[in-house]
Amino acid sequence: NSMLSWQRTAFHFQPEKNWMNDPNGPLFYKGWYHFFYQYNPNGAVWGNIVWGHAVSKDLIHWLHLPLAMVADQWYDQNGVWSGSATILPDNRVVMLYTGSTNESVQVQNLAYPVDPSDPLLIKWEKYSGNPVLVPPPGINKKDFRDPTTAWLTSEGKWRIIIGSKINKTGISLVYDTLDFKTYERLDGILHGVPGTGMWECADFYPVSEVSNEGMETSANGLGVRHVVKASLDDDRHDYYAIGTYDEKNSKWYPDNPKIDVGIGIRYDYGIFYASKSFYDQNKRRRILWGWISESDSELADVRKGWASLQGIPRTISLDKKTGTNLLQWPVEEVESLRLTSSEFNDVQVTPGSVVPLDIGTATQLDIVAEFEMDKKALEETAKANYTEFSCSISGGAWQRGALGPFGLLVLADDIRSEQTPVYFYIVKGSDGNLKTFFCTDQSRSSVASDVNKQIYGSFVSVLEGEKLSVRILVDHSIVESFAQGGRACITSRVYPTRAIYGAARIFVFNNATEATVTTSLKIWQMNSAFIRPFHPEKKRP
Ligand code: FRU
């Protein structure tokens, strides 16, 4: 066991042991951030699901609390599944969650804090009238789950959506309620997309067209766009789309039907699933939590005694420059972990070269880097023939092209027998314009054989006058990368066996055949966060 302990992270949220999946009911209450999560108290694989609970003052340092809810009722006997919190105007907290009943029927249940004056919200009570919702006619008993946070309609009712599917069309059912106990099902659906399958953990929220502050979930009106997100059970990725909410008809329409939910943009092009956003009234921002599962084998998880992390919470806002995507960025609090930094300015990386960056150990890092491609080479490529490219089907970081790949090698050892490249690749697109791709290549991330070695990535828009930029958080077995201020994100789990602790290094590389790349970087060593177990106070005699 101790041999594998290096895979544990230093500043990512994870339980002491066992299995974790979806983030649940995040909220800020009486000075504390609350985080609940799907948890198996009995092992490192999915099953026996209950709600774990932890609190934090800053979303980085955590105190684990006792389980918030366990499977102790007929209506959640097969699992206390995912759900969301709503804070009412009088500051009461209500929690809606899915229960898998004694007969494995998916129903929605209501719970609330026993003692609202307790800022830690330690004790939870389930409503005596549960379940409050059962699968409606025409909906399969196992396709009705994950209620959202509720938002107010102009009529003063609370509205939620619940994910489902009909045949292969992923859908979101809509319900209105006044008291969270009785509900009215609205005709039709908020939205659905053929071929996308079951929508897990649907999310729905407003983003501002003018401000970078977050919006309270009920906000609506001029200057507001609405985001719909679904986690596709079939392909295990979180897809979102930006569009217009028609409150009166309880419908939502994507701005661009070609980039609709489930067929267009993803929050993250690596591992990131079952995410949930919440409005942080403390700092007026919208924060996104996402579940980062393992990409080693189940046997390895059982051996190490735990599975899964949560990503560093991300602030999300509409990208005002493009108007067509969100920006995701690690919450500013993570910067409080920054220790010493090293700066490298205007480093020239010639075609085919790999340059070590001497920063000592490189297992806990926050990296900010900019890249500039030689202008002449860009012009030459713009005149050449177009090339077909996609991160996942190309040859990875060692397949050379005129203008790429170039970027960083993280979690590498001295001789680079292990390395995880995070890189850009520029090609001429079929429309005659240069296109930029952002990728992560796991094929040489570990000499171990029981790990996923895919190449992840996507197109990323780079606007006139912008440099290429990337922010990377490295934490032992996770690499979270954000390109162009968070327009495209890639999270990977990697399992180096040599590039660990004091042996981990970082390099810049340029595998382009034609062009020199100039890079400037700032790299911080990152402190560990305190993520502490719960020790009940001893009662004095
Ligand atoms: C998503 C999910 C949810 C469900 C929960 C059960 O990962 O399958 O749809 O509520 O996990 O743990």
SS3 track for 445-473: CCCCCCCCCCEEEEEECCCCCCCEEEEEE
DSSP classification of residue 3: G
* In the predicted structure, residue 4 carries a pLDDT above the cut 90: no
- Identify the weakest region by mean pLDDT among 88-102, 221-235, 334-348, 388-402: 388-402
Tokens at 102, concatenated: 């004694």
Q: Is 274 in the pocket of ligand 1 (CB under 6 A)?
A: yes
Helix spans in 169-285 (H): none
State how beta strands 517-526 and 364-373 pair.
Answer: antiparallel
- Give the pLDDT confidence score for residue 59 in this predicted structure: 98
pLDDT tens digits along 321-346: 999 999 999 999 999 999 999 999 99
Number of the ligand 1 atom closest to the C-alpha atom of 49: 12
Distances (CA, A) of 73 to 108, 131, 155: 13, 10, 34
SS3 15: coil
CA of 81 from ligand 1 middle (Å) equals 6
CA of 190 from ligand 1 middle (Å) equals 21
Distances (CA, A) of 514 to 83, 374, 380, 398, 412: 52, 9, 9, 15, 25
Tokens at 307, concatenated: 């599975």
**Counts of helices then strands in the chain (DSSP H, E):** 2, 36
- Give the pLDDT confidence score for residue 381 in this predicted structure: 85
pLDDT tens digits along 430-478: 888 999 999 999 999 999 999 999 999 999 999 999 999 999 999 999 9
pLDDT tens digits along 60-76: 999 999 999 999 999 99
- Give the pLDDT confidence score for residue 456 in this predicted structure: 97
| Nearest CA owner, ligand 1 atom 1 | 274
pTM metric for this prediction: 0.97
* In the predicted structure, residue 157 carries a pLDDT above the cut 50: yes
Q: Is 198 in the pocket of ligand 1 (CB under 6 A)?
A: no
Q: Is 276 in the pocket of ligand 1 (CB under 6 A)?
A: no
Q: The complex's ipTM?
A: 0.99
Whether 301 is catalytic: no
For 413, phi and psi rounded to 5 degrees? -95, 175
Tokens at 484, concatenated: 């162009």
Tokens at 172, concatenated: 């979101």
pLDDT tens digits along 370-400: 999 999 999 988 888 888 899 998 899 999 9
Residue for token pair 């209501």: 110
**Chain center to CA of 263:** 18
Number of the ligand 1 atom closest to the C-alpha atom of 231: 1
- Identify the CA nearest to 527 among candidates 357, 330, 334: 334
- Percent of the chain topping pLDDT 70: 98
Q: Please give the mean pLDDT across all residues of the chain.
A: 96
- Identify the CA nearest to 317 among candidates 236, 184, 211, 419: 211
CA of 27 from ligand 1 middle (Å) equals 19
Tokens at 74, concatenated: 């007929």
Cβ atoms of residues 502 and 474 within 8 Å: no
- Give the pLDDT confidence score for residue 1 in this predicted structure: 42
- Give the pLDDT confidence score for residue 95 in this predicted structure: 98
Q: Which domains does the chain have, with CATH numbers?
A: 2-7+19-330 (2.115.10.20), 339-526 (2.60.120.560)
Give CA–CA dist 414/272, Å, rounded: 30
- Identify the weakest region by mean pLDDT among 274-283, 321-330, 394-403, 479-488: 394-403
- Give the pLDDT confidence score for residue 430 in this predicted structure: 87
DSSP classification of residue 313: P
Give CA–CA dist 143/88, Å, rounded: 28
